[in-house]
A and B are shown apart, each in its own frame.
Chain A
Amino acid sequence: NAGVMQNPRHLVRRRGQEARLRCSPMKGHSHVYWYRQLPEEGLKFMVYLQKENIIDESGMPKERFSAEFPKEGPSILRIQQVVRGDSAAYFCASSPAGFGTDTQYFGPGTRLTVL
């Protein structure tokens, strides 16, 4: 009974490159959430997706960031033209289908370092 999987666990990029972070939800979960955590801070909500739909992206920066959750395969958080300020831990969470059971289960995170 695997939990939420994220890869890579560590990612190093130079300024201007693209970063792609992947998240596979728990089996049976069709809701995915992405959060960002800066050092010594709490997690900040970025985006909520269901299969093939972005439901809420109120926490996403307006530029360079995008997210998708295709019908097949993992959810992808993409950061284009990375800058040093994008260095952070990015966590994905998933929850079961249906609004009555919204407990979110988190993955181990991807630590992005921008040189």
Chain B
Amino acid sequence: DAKTTQPPSMDCAEGRAANLPCNHSTISGNEYVYWYRQIHSQGPQYIIHGLKNNETNEMASLIITEDRKSSTLILPHATLRDTAVYYCIVRVPLTSGTYKYIFGTGTRLKVLA
């Protein structure tokens, strides 16, 4: 079962900021939050990840609340090519010492012209 909950769909006007929320209320102290997106039926594309501090890269910004129970992915100037399903993921540890991802159903973002 996914450890995150996201709204099933959102619309955003082209050129505006898209803010995608995610709840991960059961996250533990050393677990990272990862964001991926899947455009049409392509392979998931890595966007960003973070632990407790806000993060920014060339694609997006990630804002994590102080209690770490929720986060928001921000696409500052959405374009039509950002239309995709966005997945917020908290990794689940494996006994081997590495992790697996549990994907929920994500948020289907539609950027409107």
Residue positions of A touching B, CB distance < 8 A: 4, 6, 31, 33, 35, 41-45, 48, 55-56, 58-59, 89, 91, 93, 95, 99, 102-109, 111
Contact = CB atoms under 8 A, between A and B. Distances in A.
B101 A45 contact: yes
18 contacts: A6-B43, A31-B98, A41-B105, A42-B87, A42-B105, A42-B106, A48-B94, A48-B100, A56-B95, A56-B98, A91-B44, A99-B97, A102-B91, A104-B101, A106-B43, A108-B42, A109-B42, A111-B41
Contacts of A103: 34, 46, 49
Contacts of A59: 100
Q: Classify chain B: how many residues form its interface, as a range.
A: 20 to 34
A-B pairs, top 3 by smallest CB distance, nearest first, are A42-B103, A106-B43, A55-B96
Contact of B94 (A42, A43, A56, A111): A56
A106 B44 contact: yes
A41 B99 CA distance: 21
Interface residue SS majority, chain A: strand
Nearest to B49: A103
Contact of B43 (A58, A95, A107): A107
B2 interface: yes
Interface string B26-43: 000000001010000111
B96 A43 contact: no
Contact of B100 (A45, A91, A99): A45
